[in-house]
Structure 1
Amino acid sequence: MNVDAVVVASGVPGAVDALTPVGGVPMIARSVRALLAGLSTTERSDRVIVVAPAGRRDAIERACAGLPVDVRETVPVAAGRARSGEAHVGQRTTPSPGDGLRDIPHDDPVTILHDAARPLAPPALVAAVLAEAATGCAAVVPVLPLTDTVKLVDPAGIVTATPDRADLRVLQTPQVVRTALLDPAEDPFATILRLAARGHVRHVPGDPAAFPVLTAWDLRLAELLVH
C-alpha cells in the first residue's frame, strides 16, 4: 500500500499557530517528526508534504529546515484518478455493509493527513490508522470517548436537550483516506467527514496526547508534557 504523508498547516498567523514553538520546537516540525516516526515502522513513505497558505510558505520551510518535506499549497491527489473510486461510495443515501469498498482495492494508495496543531500525537497513532486502512476501508480516523456532558442550546441561549454521550466521540488526527477519493477542490478533512456521513469511515482508539494546541491554555499544557 503506497502512502502519501501530509501535514496541514492551515489557518492564519496568530498567538498560537503552526509556527508556535512547543519546548523550543515549532509545532509544524513536531508534527512532521511524529508522522515520520510513525511511518518508519511501516516501510512506506519517508517524506512528508506540508500544505501551507501561500503567504506562509517561506516561514514553514524555515521551521522545517533539515526535515524531508515538500511545502505545497494543496494536498496532492492521484492524477487522472481523483474520486474515481467514489462512484459506488456515493450511490446510496443509506449505506449498507461494505458500501464503498467494492471499487477500492485493499492495496490502493492512501493519504495520511495530520493537523499541524496536534504536535504531540504519538507515532503509534500513525501506525494504528495505517494498519486499519490496510483492511480496505475508505477512510480511518482516531477517536476518543466523550467524557464531558454536552448540551444543545437554541439561538436564544436556552438549553433544550442533553444528548446521550455514549455514542459520541472526539475526532483527532492523523486520519487516512484513499487517495483516489480526494478532490483538489475540497478540503481533505471535509472529504473524510462526507464519507463518514455515508457510513464509510472506520475508527481506531485515539490518544489523549493528540489534542489540538489552539489556545494559550493548550500551549501551557503542551509545554508541561514535553518537559
Structure 2
Amino acid sequence: MHAVAIVAAAGSGSRLGAGQPKALVPLAGRPLVAWAVDALFAGGVDEVVVTVPPAERAAFAAALPGTVQLVDGGATRTASVCAGLAAAGPRADVVLVHDAARPLTPPDAVARVLDALAGGARAVVPVLPVVDTTVLVDDDGVVAEAVPRAPLRRVQTPQGFDRATLVAAYAALDDAAELTDDAAVVRAAGVPVRTVPGDERSAKITVPHDLALAELSVGLTASEVHP
C-alpha cells in the first residue's frame, strides 16, 4: 500500500495574528508545517505533498526536506486538496489529508489511520469523545435542549481515504457545497467513514493561546518523531 499525505498549508492564519502564513509560524524553533510533515513520515506515509501559498513557495522549500513535493494551493481548502490530489496522482493507493495547523499529531495517530485503510476501510477519521456538556441554543441564545454526549465525537486529522474514492467524491461535489472536511465530502457521496482513536496532542492551532499550549507540550511529541 503506497500512502501519500497531503498537508493543507495554504491558509493565511489571520486569527493567529502572526503576519505570515500559519504553517510557517515557529513552534519550538521550527515551522508548524515541518512538525506536521515529520509526524506523517514517522507514522508510515511514503510521500508528502504540501499545498502552499504561491507567493511563499521559497519559504516553504527552505523549511521542508527536498523529498516533499510543493504545489500551489487554491483560494479555498477544497481547491487546495484537489490540487494536492492531482499532484499525488495514481501512484497513491491511499491518501491522507492533514492540517499543518495540527503540528503535534503523534506518529501513532497517523499509523492508526493507515492500519484501518490497510484493513479495507475506504475512509477513516481519528476522533475523540466530547467531554463537555453540549447544548443547542435558539436564535436568542437561550438553551433549547441538552445533546447526549455519548455518541458525539470531535474529528481530527489526518483523515485517510482510498485515493480513487476521494477523487470520485470531489469530482461529484456540488460547487455550492459548504463542507468542513474531507470526510464530509466522501459522506456526501454515500461512502461510510470509519473512526479510529485520535489524540489530544492533535489539537488545532488557531489562536495565540493554542500556540502557547503547544509550546508547553512539544517535548513529548518531539521524542516520538525524532527518537
Same fold (TM over 0.5): yes
Query: What SS does structure 2 have at the residue aligned with 1:182?
Result: helix
| 2:162 paired residue among 157, 160, 178 | 178
Deviation (angstroms), 1:125: 0.9
Query: What SS does structure 2 have at the residue aligned with 1:112?
Result: strand
Are the aligned partners of 1:182 and 1:188 in contact in 2 as well (CA < 8 Å)? Answer: no
Which residue matches 1:209?
Answer: 201
In the comparison of the two structures, how many residue pairs are matched? Answer: 194
CA distance in 2, matches of 1:10, 1:150: 32
With the length of structure 1 as denominator, give the TM-score of the two structures.
0.77
Indicate the structure whose relative CO is greater, using CA pairs within 8 Å and at least 6 residues apart. Answer: 1
Query: What SS does structure 2 have at the residue aligned with 1:225?
Result: helix
RMSD over equivalenced CA pairs, Å: 2.4
Distance 1:6 1:37, change over 3 A: same
Identity %: 41
Are the aligned partners of 1:153 and 1:161 in contact in 2 as well (CA < 8 Å)? Answer: yes
CA distance in 1, matches of 2:33, 2:105: 12
| 1:113 paired residue among 97, 103, 119 | 97
2:195 aligned with 1:195: no
2:115 aligned with 1:163: no
Deviation (angstroms), 1:199: 5.7
Query: What SS does structure 1 have at the residue aligned with 2:23?
Result: coil
Distance 1:10 1:168, change over 3 A: farther
Distance 1:159 1:219, change over 3 A: same
2:84 aligned with 1:75: yes
CA distance in 2, matches of 1:188, 1:28: 23
Are the aligned partners of 1:75 and 1:188 in contact in 2 as well (CA < 8 Å)? Answer: no
CA distance in 2, matches of 1:58, 1:49: 15
CA distance in 2, matches of 1:188, 1:117: 18
Deviation (angstroms), 1:189: 6.9
| 1:36 paired residue among 33, 41, 53 | 41
Deviation (angstroms), 1:154: 2.2
Are the aligned partners of 1:109 and 1:178 in contact in 2 as well (CA < 8 Å)? Answer: yes
Distance 1:150 1:10, change over 3 A: farther
Distance 1:188 1:163, change over 3 A: closer
Distance 1:156 1:190, change over 3 A: same
Deviation (angstroms), 1:219: 0.6
2:215 aligned with 1:223: yes
